[in-house]
Amino acid sequence: MMRLVSYGQVVGSIRNALASHSSSKSSFLFLSTSSKLSQRGNKVNFQEFPDAGSESHSGQFIEKVSKPYSVTTYSRPSLILTHGKGSHIFDLENRRYIDFTAGIAVTCLGHSHEEVSKIIKDQAEKLLHCSNLYYNLPAGELARKLVTKTQEMGGMYDAARVFLCNSGTEANEAAMKFARKYGKMVGGDEKIEFITFENSFHGRSMGALSLTSNPKYQHPFAPLIPGVNVAKPNDIESVKRVLSKEKTCAVIIEPIQGEGGVNTIDSDFLIQLRQLCNENDVVLIYDEIQCGLGRTGALWAHSHLPKEAHPDIVTMAKALGNGFPIGATMITEKLEKALAVGDHGTTYGGNPLGARIGAFVVDEVSKPDFLNKVQEKSNLFFEKLSKLGQEFPEKITKVKGKGLLIGIQFKDDVDINEIVRKCRECGLLIITAGMNTIRLVPALNIPDDVINEGLAILKHCIETS
Ligand SMILES: Cc1ncc(COP(=O)(O)O)c(C=O)c1O
């Protein structure tokens, strides 16, 4: 029988628990994953700690406080995360997890990064917000840095201008509006249609959702924006079938699809796509919200591509704020010419706090040494995961992705949610993506020993699922 307690009691007991964590480091029992792991001979045995039950602090808070007052749009395990450091994250029950999720490819420099925390404190004491009615220093600096570093680091060679906003969805909304404005300028009122791709994900607002070709997400909210056509990735004929010089204003594509299953788009296809866009005066938008900003071992996923495949617009978010909400839409001068004062705007976008964090992150993730290390860490992941693929051919069909955007595709009869649960209970956080794929998107500076420890847990959980 569940004990009936009041809201006050629940919150009071959680406050006490948290206070005892912070007042005494030693009483904060860090259950390290290594303490859950014992070795007999060559065999490693893992101890699983089931998710917190309904009697726990977490269970009580979730049932009495979180669930009754929150909209029902998420399905979540009984887990309340309280703090993190680097590639580790901790919950209310004092458990420590290795974090291969980085908040879905967001905390690229790890949790509680010292310099980011200093910037937040310092900027909060200076100026948090002043609106876009006026200029501020960090926003100008971030825009300049994005353009110049992109050109220096082999990205979009004609990058010119930046619109700052607060999320990936907003960055894509801006891209849609800029592309439409351009389409109308060069082709008249009919040149307003978009082309997107199967398994794409571009966000959940009505505009971005219209480009997210997943019936599960779209159907409950139809009708969406008309004139969106869906083509097949890596199939240029499928693009030609829906592209019209008179009607199409833009094509949007993730150079590596994240949510859709960690699917890398072929460079040859992207070169052909660019060519097709050029021939038809169609804007090419790369959504690098998940795959950009160092995740592939280059500043941009498209930095690996020749100039002939560079886009007219790049959208970004996630890693840009290392956890602080920020997004951006970077365009060429060709697009800028279509824009006029009043065409778009935002209250919070370009606020000094987010922009200052963004400028720091851009500096960090564009350092050649940092990017080389991302590549080395990626090699370690791929080497170990391909061995795992060989060990479990009856379960794993493919290891895919690039850099630290990694997918492990499983056979249809493997329950990957069960693997995710088991990993969590053994102290490792991982996520899924489309096509029965487990997705690993750790911090870009995750230490090698943490990678090894996390992969040992993953192996155990695949073996025993
Ligand atoms: C490729 C891509 N585009 C757009 C979005 C939407 O970004 P946000 O959730 O910040 O609005 C996401 C989020 O997962 C994404 O992965």
Question: Confidence band (pLDDT; 50, 70, 90) for 30?
Answer: very low
**Residue 263, CA distances (Å) to 221, 339, 402, 465 in order:** 26, 33, 9, 25
**What are the sequence ranges of the domains in the chain?**
1-96, 118-366, 371-465
Question: Confidence band (pLDDT; 50, 70, 90) for 29?
Answer: very low
- Give the per-residue pLDDT at 33: 43
Question: Confidence band (pLDDT; 50, 70, 90) for 27?
Answer: very low
**Ligand 1, pocket-test mutation among 202, 256, 264, most atoms within 8 A of CB:** 202
User: Is 317 touching ligand 1 by the criterion CB < 6 Å?
Assistant: yes
Has residue 42 got a pLDDT over 60?
A: no
Q: Which residue's alpha carbon is nearest to atom 4 within ligand 1?
A: 202
CA atoms lying within 13 Å on the CB side of residue 432: 15
Has residue 356 got a pLDDT over 50?
A: yes
User: What dihedral do alpha carbons 317, 322, 323, 328 form, nearest 10°?
Assistant: -20
CA–CA dist 329, 143 (Å, integer): 10
- CATH domain 118-366 topology: Aspartate Aminotransferase; domain 2 (3.40.640)
Q: Quick one: average pLDDT of 140-157?
A: 98
User: Is 99 touching ligand 1 by the criterion CB < 6 Å?
Assistant: no
- Give the per-residue pLDDT at 10: 64
Q: How far is CA 431 from the centre of its chain?
A: 11
Return left, alpha or beta for 105; rule: phi > 0 is left, psi -120 to 50 is alpha, else beta: left
Kind of pairing, strands 193-197 and 256-257? unpaired
CA–CA dist 430, 454 (Å, integer): 10
**Residue 202, CA distances (Å) to 62, 228, 314, 316 in order:** 30, 13, 12, 11
**Ligand 1, pocket-test mutation among 196, 254, 289, 313, most atoms within 8 A of CB:** 289
Cα angle value 68/70/76 (rounded, 5°) = 95
User: Is 163 touching ligand 1 by the criterion CB < 6 Å?
Assistant: no
- Give the per-residue pLDDT at 49: 87
Q: What class, spelled out in words, does domain 371-465 have in CATH?
A: alpha beta
User: Is 106 touching ligand 1 by the criterion CB < 6 Å?
Assistant: no
Mean pLDDT, the chain, integer: 93
User: Is 289 touching ligand 1 by the criterion CB < 6 Å?
Assistant: yes
What residues pair up with 285 in beta bridges, in sequence order?
Answer: 252, 313
CA–CA dist 166, 154 (Å, integer): 26
- Give the per-residue pLDDT at 47: 77
Question: Confidence band (pLDDT; 50, 70, 90) for 102?
Answer: very high
pTM, 2 dp: 0.94
Greatest Cα pair distance, the chain, in angstroms, is 73
Has residue 25 got a pLDDT over 70?
A: no
Q: Quick one: average pLDDT of 325-347?
A: 98
User: Is 93 touching ligand 1 by the criterion CB < 6 Å?
Assistant: no
73-84 pLDDT tens trace: 999 999 999 999
211-256 pLDDT tens trace: 999 999 999 999 999 999 999 999 999 999 999 999 999 999 999 9
Residue matched to tokens 């097949």? 232
Ligand 1 atom nearest the C-alpha of 254 is: 1
289 Cα: distance to centroid of ligand 1 (angstroms): 6
User: Is 169 touching ligand 1 by the criterion CB < 6 Å?
Assistant: yes
Between 11 and 55, whose confidence is greater?
Answer: 55
- Give the per-residue pLDDT at 351: 98
